[in-house]
Structure 1
Amino acid sequence: MKHTPTIRAELDRYLQQEGLSLTQFGHIADMNRGAVSAIVTGNKPLSVNQLDRITEAMGLPEGHFYDLFIENYIIDHPPNMRRIEPFLFRCAELDKLDAIRRVVGAIMDNLLYSPKLFEIAENLFTQERHAAALLLYEGVADAEKYQHSERLAICQYRIFTTQIGDDQNRNIRAAAVFEAFVERLDEIYQLDALKDLANVYRSLRKWDKVDETAKKMKQKAKAQYLLKHQQKNRECDEHKKLNRPLFVYITYADLLCASVCESQGDYQQALQYTYAYANLDWVKETDEDTQHWINLFKGWAQANAVANKLLSGDINALYDYVEYIGAPSDTSEQDKVAQLLNIMMTANRYQIDVSDILQRFETDVNSLLKFPQSNDIYTKQVIPEQFARFGYELAYYYLHRCSYIDGFKHLMYSMVSYHTLNNETYFIKCMVLFERYRAYAVSETKAAYLEFIERVWIADVKKNGAIDRRS
């Protein structure tokens, strides 16, 4: 039977090796002699704060004894949350995720610890220590998987938002799992959850799911808005939990439905939804935040109304649209890429020469072809897909007009982006476009392309197992 070493034995051996008395070591570790003695003799449990002081005094790296701490004071003792809680926070600070995983595995057989572990996870999530919080949420969710609790639903919501990343295949699996828990959330929390789900489905171009989710969000938001103003004499603290003013969830649902119609080529219906979120006279609030969002929606509606006409084939709307997006404004990079994407889609669909427009927005085009960094689901999901699509449309335009250097530059950007997003459909479209024009690529471009494809192939082999080289 393997003997597990103890921290106190390690400390005792160090004191003897260095010839230090308890008092001398106490001075080095900023601890009194009695505390050091109690730890060495085993008469007093060790706190993580004391452990950190001892570790530093022994000249060892931070967290050196954390595995032993778990063995000596968590696994070998009845769980004590007053000891475990500060240890988990310290592990999160030091990014000791394996230690957190071991603690969760050691204590989560007992559901009594779920509420406290959930509270710790929420605090870590607020501190943006998402990787550490995720381990706790997963532990609580697994322990409570047969419970029909709101806590379980919130865990699944946090797991969903934390797991969403570059891999679109992983994202669709995460969305499918979480969708089953939305109705278990508090009615107010459901609005943000539905908004986040809709944005993920939008990035995946799952338009039927976008439509379904948006309509559900609108229905729930309208009911909450009506309830809020029926109870206008009472304080509505519930609505302070939302990330946006309550009316935004109603109008954003219309914007999402408009994008669904655009994807289906139903531009007239898209216009009707656009007019709906442009008309906000019904909004009762008058505060600064409300006015900010009203102005945003009106600006989006103005641009999107012209964009709908443009995409439907009304070429006369092109230069009106260009003048609109070129006018001085507070347009964000997110809006700008969507606007330029509309122009390129129109140019490619109707074979329009937009070289003068591209020249006018050359600075914008060059600066836009970077992924923005944000924790917001929309910016993390919808915008990167639009950037990749923008690169593809630019490549298609330039290659069809024999501007091969620019065409291949944007095509490689789009191909790399779609590989990062794990979007196989558009990744293959990029490859097909490259092969169609391969004869016009310079040797350096061909070499870069082959090197990239080989890296993708090797990564796939490593992921799915080595292939039989005998064939």
Structure 2
Amino acid sequence: MPVVNRSLRWEIEDQMKLHGYNINQLAELTGINPGNLSMALNGISRSMTINQLDALGKLFGKVPGWLYELYTEECISEEKLSRPRLVPYLVRCAEVGRNDCIDAVVSRILESPKNVNIIFSAAEKLFHKGKHKESERLYEDVVSAVKDSFSEMLSMSHYRLFAISIQSTDAEKNWKAVIRFDPFRNRLPENHQLDALFQLARVCFSLKKWSEVEEYASELEVLSTTLCSEEKLVPKRHPVYYYGMGLLYKAAIAEERGLYELSKKYVHIYANLEWSEPLDESGQKEVKQFEIWGKANLYTLEVLSGNEGIINEYADYLASLNRLNDVVMGLIAIMKSANT
């Protein structure tokens, strides 16, 4: 019996015969343009897309990822790589768990280091689709392949890996993520730097790494005011939020160290935030939120400082809140002060 070399088109034609479909029926049932489908199956000028292959596989009752190991012939030839084919192919391989195909294709792509941006693009698409775990291995491939330590693609890959890692509740893992990402924080595109510093400060605060929190908080203050005038930058939140958070973290650290008067100074500043430019609606909302936090935290600091005369007023304030967590934290502050 003769041995048939498997190919994408041979497998599809075999399924067409098995199900009794001609090209027009196949096109109608899958929603693929008949002309495009005909050219794709006959190898005339147009390659098959991964979405078309998925549509065919679904019609034939195949599992997701069907024939993906053969799809590389649509993406890579001896002469060149097809970026428009490879990026969605890598994305789909990651989504359906065809890691064997990813490994095979990545090794081919990285035969020329300049093509690493294909892998990065696929990782970014996965990340923005919320497929963080699936994007992780591709970002790791980028980190391994890029040798220029000041490459924006390298710094962004480290930032994404940091963001993925800190979703864990494992303190040791989160600290390792901070250490790994820290050298790249100032090499990020400017519109990502503020949120990166905030996340570093947030994680280190949860880990009680006060010196690191203080460093990142100071950088937040400076950078938020430096970048606020650059209209092209679009951080996740208004720059005034990051400025306020820098002050809030400094106040929190001073409180942790028992420096209540110093903490009050920081709280007074973020509770009455002033900005160098007129604030839009989002900026005004941020300022209002810091005003609310500031009022609650000043009550806490007064109690911790031993101001017994304010306890009834503070208790009334806590009773007016609808946020259970804030009430609990306030009661803890009163108990702590009483015990002291």
> Within the alignment, does 1:98 sit opposite 2:99 as a pair?
yes
Whether the 8 Å contact between 2:225 and 2:243 is mirrored in structure 1 is yes
Q: Quick one: distance in 1 between partners of 2:115 and 2:195?
A: 28
Q: Which residue of the other structure, out of 323, 329, 334, is the alignment partner of 1:341?
A: 329
Q: Secondary structure at the match of 2:278?
A: coil
* SS at structure 2 position matched to 1:181: helix
Tell me how far 1:120 sits from its aligned partner: 4.0
Matches within 5 A, 1:236-275: 236-239=230-233, 241-275=234-268
Q: Do the aligned partners of 2:65 and 2:96 also contact (CA within 8 Å) in 1?
A: no
Amino acid at match of 2:84: R
User: 1:139 maps to what in 2?
Assistant: 141
1:193 aligns to what? 196
Shift of 1:327: 1.8
What CA distance in whole angstroms lies between the structure 1 residues aligned with 2:151 and 2:32?
Answer: 45
Give the distance between the partners of 1:47 and 1:119, measured in 2 at CA: 17
Alignment partners' CA distance in 2, 1:4 and 1:206:
60
Q: 1:183 to 1:26 in 2, by over 3 A?
A: closer
Encode CA deviations 1:167-188: one digit per residue, 9 max, x unaligned. 2211111111111101212344
Residues 40 and 216 of structure 1: is their aligned pair in 2 closer, same or farther, counting only changes over 3 Å?
closer
Q: Which moved more, 1:155-164 or 1:121-130?
A: 121-130
> Residue 427 of structure 1 aligns with which residue?
none
CA pair 5-212 structure 1, distance change in 2 beyond 3 A: same
How big is each residue's C-alpha offset from its partner over 1:280-321, in whole Å with a ceiling of 9 and x where there is no partner? 245432422222122111111111011012233434433322
Contact in 2 for aligned 1:195/1:249 (Cα 8 Å): yes
* Aligned residue in 1 for 2:49: 47
**Structure 1 position 338, deviation (Å):** 4.4
- How many angstroms does 1:95 deviate by? 4.2
Deviation at 1:211, TM superposition (A): 0.8
Cα distance in 2 between the residues matched to 1:84 and 1:40: 19
Q: Is the 8 A contact 1:191 1:220 kept in 2?
A: yes
Tell me, yes or no, if the aligned pair for 2:49 and 2:85 is still in contact at 8 Å: yes
**Which residues of 2 match residues 390-405 of structure 1 at below 5 A?**
none
Evaluate the alpha carbon distance shift between residue 348 and residue 33 of structure 1 in structure 2; reply closer, same or farther with a 3 A threshold.
Answer: closer
Structure 2's unaligned 5+ residue stretches are none
**1:297 equivalent in alignment to 2:286:** no
In structure 1, what is the equivalent of residue 302 of structure 2?
309
> Offset at 1:255?
0.8
- The alpha-carbon distance between structure 1 residues 223 and 58, as it changes in their structure 2 partners (threshold 3 A), is closer
User: In the alignment, is the contact (CA less than 8 A) between 1:214 and 1:254 conserved in 2?
Assistant: yes
User: Is the Cα contact below 8 Å between 2:178 and 2:200 reproduced in 1?
Assistant: yes
Separation in structure 2 between the aligned mates of residue 285 and residue 189 of structure 1, nearest angstrom: 23
Contact 1:194 1:217 in 2 (8 A): yes
Q: Name 1:110's counterpart in structure 2.
A: 112
Which of 78, 81, 92 aligns to 1:79? It is 81
- 1:323 maps to what in 2? 316
Question: Taking structure 1 as the reference length, what is the TM-score of the superposition?
Answer: 0.62
Q: Is the 8 A contact 2:318 2:326 kept in 1?
A: no
8 Å CA contact retained: 1:55, 1:61: yes
Give the Cα separation in 2 of the matches to 1:156 and 1:299: 35
5+ residue gaps, structure 1, are 229-235, 353-471
Whether the aligned pair in 1 keeps the contact of 2:126 and 2:134 (CA below 8 Å) is: yes
Query: Structure 1 pair 290/47, CA: closer, same or farther in 2 (3 Å)?
Result: closer
* Partner AA of 1:61 in structure 2: V
Change (3 A) 1:81 1:323: same
Greater RCO (Cα-Cα under 8 Å, separation 6 or more): 1
Distance (whole Å) between structure 1 residues aligned to residue 23 and residue 288 of structure 2: 69
SS state at 2:232 partner:
helix
C-alpha change, 1:146 and 1:224, in structure 2 (3 Å) is: closer
Identity %: 28
CA contact (8 A) 1:100 1:132 kept: no
Q: Does structure 2 conserve the Cα–Cα contact (< 8 Å) formed by 1:101 and 1:135? A: no
Please tell me whether residue 173 in structure 1 is matched to residue 191 in structure 2. Answer: no
**Cα distance between partner residues in 2 of 1:32 and 1:293:** 51
Counterpart of 1:237 in structure 2: which amino acid? E
CA change 1:208–1:339 in 2 (3 A) is: farther
TM-aligned CA deviation for residue 18 of structure 1: 4.7
Cα pair 1:74 1:84 within 8 Å, conserved: yes
Give 1:257 shift: 0.5
Correspondence for 1:467: none
Match status 1:207 vs 2:201: no
Matched length: 334
Q: What CA distance in whole angstroms lies between the structure 2 residues aligned with 1:37 and 1:238?
A: 46
Q: 1:98 to 1:20 in 2, by over 3 A?
A: same
The 1:47–1:278 alpha-carbon spacing in structure 2 relative to 1, beyond 3 Å, is closer
Is 1:217 the counterpart of 2:210? The answer is: no
Per-residue CA deviation, residues 304-346 of structure 1 (Å, 9 max, x unaligned), is 0110122334344333222112225xx6x5xx42442242254
> How far apart are the structure 2 equivalents of 1:339 and 1:270?
20
Structure 1 distance, partners of 2:260, 2:170, is 31
Q: Say whether the 8 Å CA contact 1:117–1:136 is kept in structure 2.
A: yes
CA distance 1:147–1:188, shift in 2 (3 Å):
same
